[in-house]
Amino acid sequence: MQSITEIKSLRSQIKAWSQAGLSIALVPTMGNLHLGHFSLVEKAKMMADKVVVSIFVNPMQFGANEDLDNYPRTLDEDKRGLADLETDIVFTPSVETIYPNGLAAQSFVDVPDISLGYCGGSRPGHFRGVATVVTKLFNLVQPDYACFGEKDFQQLQVIKTMARDLSIPVEVIGVSTMREVSGLAMSSRNGYLSNEQKDSATALFKVLNNCAEQLKSGNTDFATLEETAKQSLQQAGLKPDYFSIAQRDTLKAATLDDNKFVILAAAYLGSVRLIDNLQVEV
């Protein structure tokens, strides 16, 4: 596995692969890797001849009250895991490499409409940061495929929309959420939870499943389903941020004409913000 930090070296290797006719898959991450991330790498290896994993804690997607400095960084351990998977390149640029003129002078990418609401509403500017850094990575790696987890479902739809709107020739692939035995979605933020909190956090997946079963049974009173779910989360000790039933592809509020839904949820457990979702087709 090659460990690359500089753009020039990365581009040189990408050029050689392209000239050899090899396909490339990209897995963008912020590090602190877990089995969910490794499942993205395994999917990428199935799709392409060569796999690039980026590890970059992107300051542009952190808000004013979000703790960028304390985001968990486990680079040595991450590299060992990626080497075990026979990843071809791990790209670990510095902030200065990605934003050489600083954030204030950086051009950015905004994806309208689908970036609004849900996590976009709770974290203003978050998806601008995501879209900008992913666009830069797409330009640097020029991948044929890019793999993203479905746990961050709004992010996945934002990136798909961006790639389509900007005519970026990459196939954006969503990979199913990896879960603990308890059903809790794997996340870097789970490391902030105590064992007792992890037990409480399983309520999020349970409430999502209950709502999904109601939809499948024909219940289309979306507002009541959402309110009941929020009350259930509160009773389990979580503080709901949002719980919404949306049309799967557009993320607009669900209507009676829809049959492909995604249930999107975010809730706080202490200071930790958990997100999850379930896709439902009826």
Which amino acids are annotated catalytic?
37
Contact call for residues 160 and 133 (beta carbons, < 8 A): no
Residue type, 256: L
- What is the SS3 assignment for 22? coil
- Residue of 214, 242, 237 lying closest to 227 (CA atoms): 242
What strands lie across the sheet with 2-4, from one edge to the other? 2-4, 89-91, 50-55, 24-29, 145-149, 171-175
Tokens 């790209």 locate to 91
Structure tokens at 66: 């979000």
Contact call for residues 138 and 26 (beta carbons, < 8 A): yes
SS3 content of the chain, % helix, strand, coil (to 5): 45, 20, 35
Q: Which residues pair with 26 in a beta bridge?
A: 52, 146
| CA pair distance 110, 130, nearest whole angstrom | 9
Count of positions (residues) in the chain: 282
- Residue of 212, 207, 203, 206 lying closest to 238 (CA atoms): 203
* Residue 272 DSSP code: E
Roughly what angle, to the nearest 10 degrees, separates helices 7-19 and 126-141?
50
Tokens 């090899």 locate to 22
